[in-house]
Structure 1
Amino acid sequence: MPAFAETILVVFTLIAIGYGVAALRVLKPETGEGLTDFVFTIAVPLLLFRILATAKFEHGVPWLLWVTYFTAVLVTWSSAHVIIRTGFGRDARSGVVAGVTAGFSNLVLLGIPFMSGVYGEDGLAMLSQIVSIHMPIMMGASVILFEWALKRDGVSTESKTLVALVTGFFRQLFSNPLILGIVGGFLVRISGLDIPAVADRVIVSLGGVAGPLALFAMGVSLRGYGIRGQVPQAISLVVLKLMLMPAVALGIALLLGLPELQTKVVVAAASLPAGVNSWLIANRMGTGQRLASTSMTLGTAVAAATTGLWLLIAEAAF
């Protein structure tokens, strides 16, 4: 059995336990929501803050890592958009939702505990470098394409000014606790200051529970979303997310000559299923909620096998 197999079993077992607890109603629904809020607003931001403030990034600014990952995002997002629009005859807004669903990996709730378990602190530091620009780029692309899709579908004839778009984007961005944690970590890093010992122990204590709680909360959330129809379309997006995106990431990584660990981390990150952000964007756009929900649920269930496959392939490449 590969060394990472145990981590995969632990990760997806914690998700399954959360799902089962929600299904059996062992916890009140609001308890699950409270856990998710804690993970997103306290635990994970503090974890990212400490990683970015203290980790040693031996390769400097990870330009090639970013190019590799976001090339895979672009190819997968574009493919999903085309398939949903031409293959299934959906509107432009559904095409945007499909692109987000296929290209937006669950790098926080699933990615952080997964990468930490498989590749340790070095792998987690590399993932944090992707996460640091992942949210701004994906949010920016979603905002722009959201406005385009509204006009394309004739839902909105209003034209937002560039100032309004930029202001709205930064308002959303800097109200996000994850972004605040990332920015805070960079500021401490640039300043050269050390985190006070007592503060560091508090941060470690709260951030240390981020991984298992995130997985448990994710399982609880999946029970709430579930499979809500549009299964053929969802399956096509799941195939793109779990097979095309990591394949493109591996190909680009080998082409650019990324170091071994960076290649393995970027392939693992690309192989993760979609998270709740796809549903949130679909809900905001007023279409594609069932597509996003079904894709997220099916993708998470299947990813236990496909992510392990891509880790084996990445190992074999070296």
Structure 2
Amino acid sequence: MFVDVLFGVLPLFFLMLAGYGASYSKRFASVEPALNVFVFYAALPALLYQVVARADISGGVPSEFLWGSAGAALLSAVLFWAIFRYLIRLGRARSLAGMLTASFGNVSYLGIPVILGVLGPQAGFAAGMGQLVHNVIFMVGFPVLAQIALPATQASGQRPNFGRILRTIRAALLYNPVTWAMLAGGAVVTWQIHLPSPVDATVDMLAAAAAPGALFTIGLSLRRTVQRLSRTRVVPDSGEGQRGASSAMLIMVLGKLLVLPLLTVGVLRLFAPQLDAVWFNAAVLMAAVPTSATAYIMAQTDTGDGEPTALAIVITCALSLLTLPLLAQLFMQ
């Protein structure tokens, strides 16, 4: 199993490395924003529409998968908030950023390709639902929590208000093309709508670009993250000290790569022992992907303290090449 999964994820990491290598070329200096827009608004929605529209939904979505994945992610967030805030005694802003870093993985751009590469196309529906659960929890929950927990965000200095919170929720849910793509796919398969073959062929072409485009984009963004880190020294939080900063980084890395997937395994095995293997494996792999590149943007925007997250992104991406196959060997059914 270890070798099978390793060989399944190696091409994905090679694509990331290709993107990282291409970032050194002047030709690709301005490519990342455009490529990211293409993947997020066109290719990835096409892929998720495709896997949902062609999925066997006769058994529905197992409720155990939804609440098990959500429960493990929320439990992870609460656990790491308590560790950072009350054990290491970090400030509120850095504790929130650390919680996000240790709990929110790259579920869309890396999680979906990993699950499809390891489990095959039959796991596409589970991959789509898994990324939706994680994205809703963190891309909606974290900005709202940050606005409530911090008297004024260090990045903007604006105090939270009900209108801003509603706009945050609306932007994350109603303006997210991935959500609408999955709803469209669900409508097609539920009502057995047959689209013209040229439309299906166009969707297939866009969907085929999703995984390589997303992984190449991750590689380009890693270069930018490394450059940012080379210009900025991660400053210890007030009263934290360098030793505390190192401990916090270790907890963020181990938390994302090991603790969250282990919590997911524990919750599902304890409360959903009969869950179908495809759904169980998809939940574990989705929990085991490295920290999301979006986590840096969210941490920086909502707490003003994103540099530790940027470093954790680079470290978790490198180590996940080993931790993903190891977790698959130990726990996949």
TM-score above 0.5: yes
Question: Contact (CA 8 Å) 2:104, 2:291: kept in 1 or not?
Answer: yes
Residues 76 and 191 (structure 1), Cα distance of their counterparts in 2 relative to 1, 3 Å cut = same
Question: Contact (CA 8 Å) 1:45, 1:181: kept in 2 or not?
Answer: yes
Percent identity over the alignment is: 23
Gaps of 5+ in 2: 235-244
Deviation of residue 278 (structure 1)? 0.8
Question: Contact (CA 8 Å) 2:20, 2:222: kept in 1 or not?
Answer: yes
| Segment drifting more, 29-38 vs 203-212 | 29-38
Aligned to 2:6: 5
Q: Distance in 1 between matches of 2:160 and 2:26?
A: 48
Q: Distance in 2 between matches of 1:156 and 1:287?
A: 10
Q: Distance in 1 between matches of 2:57 and 2:233?
A: 44
Q: Distance in 2 between matches of 1:44 and 1:153?
A: 31
> Are residues 1:247 and 2:262 paired?
yes
Task: Give 1:1-318 correspondences, 5 Å limit.
Answer: 2-22=3-23, 24-25=24-25, 27-151=27-151, 158=159, 160-161=161-162, 164-226=164-226, 227=229, 229-230=233-234, 232=246, 233-255=248-270, 256-257=272-273, 258-315=275-332, 318=333
Q: Distance in 2 between matches of 1:188 and 1:164?
A: 34
1:171-196: CA deviation from partner (whole Å, max 9, x where unpaired): 34222222232233233334431222
Q: Distance in 1 between matches of 2:153 and 2:35?
A: 37
Question: Contact (CA 8 Å) 1:19, 1:223: kept in 2 or not?
Answer: yes
| Segment drifting more, 231-240 vs 106-115 | 231-240
Paired letter, 1:287? G
Q: Distance in 2 between matches of 1:157 and 1:108?
A: 30
Q: Distance in 1 between matches of 2:98 and 2:250?
A: 11
Paired letter, 2:18? I
Deviation of residue 157 (structure 1)? 8.2
Instruction: Work out the number of aligned pairs and report it.
Output: 314
Deviation of residue 209 (structure 1)? 1.3
Question: Contact (CA 8 Å) 1:107, 1:272: kept in 2 or not?
Answer: yes
Gaps of 5+ in 1: none
Q: Distance in 1 between matches of 2:188 and 2:54?
A: 9
| Segment drifting more, 296-305 vs 256-265 | 256-265
Deviation of residue 242 (structure 1)? 0.6
When normalised by structure 2's length, the TM-score is 0.86
Q: Equivalent residue of 1:59, what SS?
A: coil
Paired letter, 1:51? V
Question: Contact (CA 8 Å) 1:91, 1:153: kept in 2 or not?
Answer: no
Question: Contact (CA 8 Å) 1:46, 1:181: kept in 2 or not?
Answer: yes
Deviation of residue 63 (structure 1)? 0.9
Question: Contact (CA 8 Å) 1:7, 1:117: kept in 2 or not?
Answer: yes
| Segment drifting more, 106-115 vs 221-230 | 221-230
When normalised by structure 1's length, the TM-score is 0.90
Deviation of residue 136 (structure 1)? 2.5
Aligned to 2:241: none
Question: Contact (CA 8 Å) 1:48, 1:128: kept in 2 or not?
Answer: yes
Q: Equivalent residue of 1:27, what SS?
A: helix
Residues 153 and 260 (structure 1), Cα distance of their counterparts in 2 relative to 1, 3 Å cut = same
Aligned to 2:240: none
Paired letter, 2:330? I
Q: Distance in 2 between matches of 1:159 and 1:213?
A: 36
Residues 7 and 26 (structure 1), Cα distance of their counterparts in 2 relative to 1, 3 Å cut = farther
Q: Distance in 2 between matches of 1:219 and 1:153?
A: 30
Paired letter, 1:2? V
| Segment drifting more, 144-153 vs 191-200 | 144-153
Residues 153 and 220 (structure 1), Cα distance of their counterparts in 2 relative to 1, 3 Å cut = closer
Question: Contact (CA 8 Å) 1:92, 1:152: kept in 2 or not?
Answer: no
Residues 75 and 26 (structure 1), Cα distance of their counterparts in 2 relative to 1, 3 Å cut = same
Q: Distance in 2 between matches of 1:4 and 1:171?
A: 36
Paired letter, 1:11? L
Q: Distance in 2 between matches of 1:157 and 1:220?
A: 32
Question: Contact (CA 8 Å) 1:92, 1:153: kept in 2 or not?
Answer: no
Deviation of residue 202 (structure 1)? 0.3
Q: Distance in 2 between matches of 1:307 and 1:291?
A: 22
